[in-house]
Amino acid sequence: MASSLRFPLGEFVPPSVITEAQRAAWIAAIAKLPEDLSAVVSPLDEAWLERPYRPGGWTVQQVVHHLADSHMNSLVRFKWALTEEQPTIKAYDEKAWAECPDRAAWPVSATLGFLAALHERWVALLSGMSPSDWRRGFVHPESGPITLDVNLGVYAWHGRHHLAHITSLLARESPSA
């Protein structure tokens, strides 16, 4: 049960061959995430926003802020990879970022708006990339080399993964569940 709470969709495993159709589906998932997340999170009151999605896990609020932080970093990584030759990117401590002061001071509604604008811009970048751009990549200091093709899949999964954390919590613990 603990593994299904932590990874409700399973862990991301890239396909051996990434097709244009797969890429288009991943871009569509990235485009749709802000709308789907907003539909689930906007109706929640403060008590729900402060609930962890699993024992020892982040609160719903932290998950929403994390998505913005993580996807902002991913957009920057795409731009580095498109403008530099195999750059080594800077990793960040996502757990520490989840505890920064903006976590409590910045409303979830503002983060949802930020995420929508961020994804709109990110999708514009992704939609304009050439076939050769997808083979470019970066070096993650902990994970090693990553192509933009694979990184796209990781982040399409990442958004759905965290959305599933929230929807699973609601399904398990809402009064109508």
| Half-sphere exposure at residue 75, Cβ-oriented, CA atoms within 13 angstroms | 18
Is residue 4 in some structural domain? no
Q: Is 8 part of a structural domain of the chain?
A: no
The answer as to whether 88 is a domain residue is yes
In a domain, 57, yes or no: yes
Residue 62: other Cβ atoms inside 10 A? 23
HEC-encoded secondary structure of 5-46: HHCCCCCCCCCCCCCHHHHHHHHHHHHHHHHHHHHHHCCCCH
Q: Is residue 36 part of a domain?
A: yes
pLDDT for residue 136: 98
Give the pLDDT of residue 174: 79
pLDDT in tens, the chain (177 residues): 556 899 999 999 999 999 999 999 999 999 999 999 999 999 999 999 999 999 999 999 999 999 999 999 999 999 999 999 999 999 999 999 988 888 777 899 999 999 999 999 999 999 999 999 999 999 999 999 999 999 999 999 999 999 999 999 999 997 665
For residues 27 and 148, give the distance between their C-alpha atoms in angstroms, rounded to a whole number. Answer: 12
CATH of the domain at 141: 1.20.120.450
> Domain tally for the chain?
1
Degrees to nearest 5, angle at CA 95 with 165 and 59: 35
Within a domain: residue 13? Answer: no
Model confidence pTM above 0.75: yes
- Residue 83 CA to residue 62 CA, distance in Å, equals 32
Write down the pLDDT at residue 176. 66
Q: Do 98 and 66 meet the contact criterion of CB atoms below 8 Å apart?
A: yes
Residue 5 lies in a domain: no
How far apart, in whole angstroms, are the C-alpha atoms of residue 151 and residue 36? 21
The domain of 161 spans 20-173
> Is residue 61 assigned to a domain?
yes
pLDDT of residue 130: 97
pLDDT of residue 175: 66
